[in-house]
Amino acid sequence: MRSDEVKKGYQRAPHRSLLRATGLKDEDFDKPFIGVANSFIEIIPGHFYLNKVAEIIKDEIRKNGCVPFEFNTIGVDDGIAMGHDGMLYSLPSREIIANSIETVMNAHKLDAMIAIPNCDKIVPGMIMGALRVNVPAVFVSGGPMAAGHMEDGTAIDLATVFEGVGEYEAGEITVETLTEMECNACPSGGSCSGMFTANSMNTLMEAMGIALPGNGTILALTKEREELFRAAARRVCELAKSSEDGKFNFRNILNENAVRNAFAVDMAMGGSSNTVLHMLAIANEAGVDFNIEDINKISKKVSHIAKISPSLTTVHMEDINTAGGVSAVMKEMNKRGGDVLADNLTVMGDTLYERIANAEIKDSTIIHTIDNPYSEVGGLAILFGNLAEQGAVIKTAGIIGDRSFKGTAVCFNSQDEAIEGITGGKVKAGDVVVLRYEGPKGGPGMQEMLSPTSLIMGMGLGDSVALITDGRFSGATRGLSIGHVSPEAAEGGLIGLVEDGDEIFIDVDEYKIELLVSEDEIAKRRANFEPLVKPLKSRWLRQYRALVTNASKGAVLEA
C-alpha cells in the first residue's frame, strides 16, 4: 500500500505516534488509508450539508475495513459572488482546490480517495487534483436541488430570479413578484436545479466514468442520494484493496476516451459553456491531446436530445432523473451510429457500454429520441474569425432568436460598465454588446456575467441583442451570448480594438464571428493600442494574472 511509506517499519514509529493521536489503533495500520476530500462550506447551498454526507461516507468506509481521513477544500458560490469583485476569486479557486487535493493526498501518502464536490469550480478543481495524484478515486457529488415553484405552480430556478431583476428594471413585474421569485427559486440544499455549470459537471462525471450512475440527477437530501454515497464509499474501499495493481488509477479511467465522451454528452444535453473551459483544463491535466477545434467535430456527430433549464425553463434535473437519467441519454446518443461515444472503463469496473446497456427513456417528452432531436448538432459551438482567432464559445442550446446576427458594437471595459449601460438604456435592439477586459488575465479571473445577460433577457432584448465577451457566463445564461473570446483584450486580442459603431457579424451554423472593419483600419488601431491593465491590491490575484493562460487553453496556470 502507498500508505506503508508513512506507517510501516521501525523508522515510522514517530509517524505512527502522530497517527495514534488521531485515534488509530494497532489493527488500523494494516488497513488502506482513504482520503475523504470534502468541499463542505456553510455559505453554498450545494455544500452546507456535506459535513453530514462525509459522516455517512466515513461510516461506510470503516464498515468496509478501511480508515477514512476527511479533509476539506475551499469553495466559492458563484451566484453569491456574482455581480461584484468577489467573482474575481471564483475561477482562481479552481487552482487552489486542485493544489489542495494534490498537497494533502501526496503529503500523507493516502492510498485512494473519495471526492465530495457539487458546485461550479469545485468539481473540476477536485478532478484536476485527482489526476495529479493518480490513485484510485471515486467521485460522488452532493446532488441537485429540486426546482422551485411560484404560487401558480410555475417551475422556477435561480435563473428566473436573475432575469426577474431585468423584468423589474423594465417595469414588467412588481417588486412583490420579484420577492416571490426570490423566496421560492431555491427551495432546498443542492446544486442549482437546472443544467447550469454545477449540474453540467456532475453529469459529465457520469460520462467520464469517474462517478456512479445517477450522480448528476438524483436529488440532494434524499434516501436515494444516501444510497449513492454508501455505494461510492464501498467501491473506493474495493479499489483500495484491489489486487489489480494500477488498473483503476485515476488516469486509466479519465483518459482521452473519457474526455471525448464528456464533450459528447455535454453536446447532447446542452451543458453550460463553462464546461468547455473546465474540460480543456481537465484534458490538460490528464495529458490528453485535445484542442478547442475538436469540439465542433464532436458537435457535428451528436444530436441535442435533452433540453433543460435555462434552455427549457420547465425542465430540471429531477425531470431528467425520472425520464431515465444520464445513462438513458447516453444509450440514445449511441443509436445515431458511428463513434458518438467510445467504450471505456468506469470506476465501477464495468465499461460505459455495459453501464448503459439496460437504460431506457421513460419519458420521451423530456429526453427526446434520436429521431426527434432538438437539433441535429450539439448544444455548444466554438466560433472562429478575426474577433476570435483562438475560438469563442456559445451555448447554442440557449439561443433565443436567429442563429445569424449582424449588429452594431456598443463597448464596455468592465462588467460594471455594462450593467450601468444596459440598465441606462444605452443598449438597443440590433446592438452587439462588447464586454471586454474580463478574461482570465484581464479580469483577472474571468468573471461569470449572468447579470448583464439576464438584464438583456429580462428587458425583452434577448432575441435582438448579441453579447460577446472575453469573460465567461454562468450556466444559467441564455440568448445570443458568446464568451471565452480568445485572444482576450488584456493580451492584445482584437476584441480590445473594437470601437462603438463597428459592425460585427455572427453566424453560429457557420462557426463564424467577424469584426467587419478593414485590415488597414485594424492595423492603424493596433499601432496605438495598449491593453488596459486594471490595478490590483490582491497579491494572489496578481500571481494568478501573471501565470494564467487564456480561455482557449482552459485558463490553466503556466509554471
Q: Which residues are catalytic?
A: 474
In this structure, the number of other CB atoms found within 10 A of the CB of residue 205 comes to 26
| CB 512 within 8 Å of CB 383 | yes
The residues facing 35 across adjacent strands are: 69, 113
Is the Cβ–Cβ distance between 384 and 510 less than 8 Å? no
CA angle 465, 178, 46 (to 5 degrees): 90
Residues in Cβ contact with 56 at an 8 Å cutoff, skipping those fewer than 6 apart: 226, 229, 230, 233
What is the residue type of 161? V
330-340 burial code (b ≥16 CB/10 A, e <16): bbbbbebeeeb
C-alpha cell at 245: 495493481
Distance CA 122, CA 124 (A): 6
The label of the residue with cell 485512494 reads 112
- In degrees, to the nearest 5, what angle opens at C-alpha 82 toward C-alphas 185 and 553? 115
Give whole-number Cα distances, 290 to 148, 250, 297, 446, in Å: 38, 18, 12, 22
Assign 351 to helix, strand or coil. Answer: strand
Cβ atoms of 218 and 231 within 8 Å: the answer is no
Contact 220, 46 (CB under 8 A): yes
Closest listed residue to residue 126, CA positions, set 40, 52, 49: 40
Rounded-to-integer distance, Cα 409 and Cα 54, Å: 50
Give the torsion through C-alpha atoms of 153, 45, 451, 262, to 10 deg: -90
Tell me which H or E stretch contains 405.
strand 404-412
Nearest to 484 by CA among 430, 441, 545, 431: 441
Q: Which three cell numbers stand for residue 38?
A: 470534502
171: left (phi over 0), alpha (psi -120 to 50) or beta: left
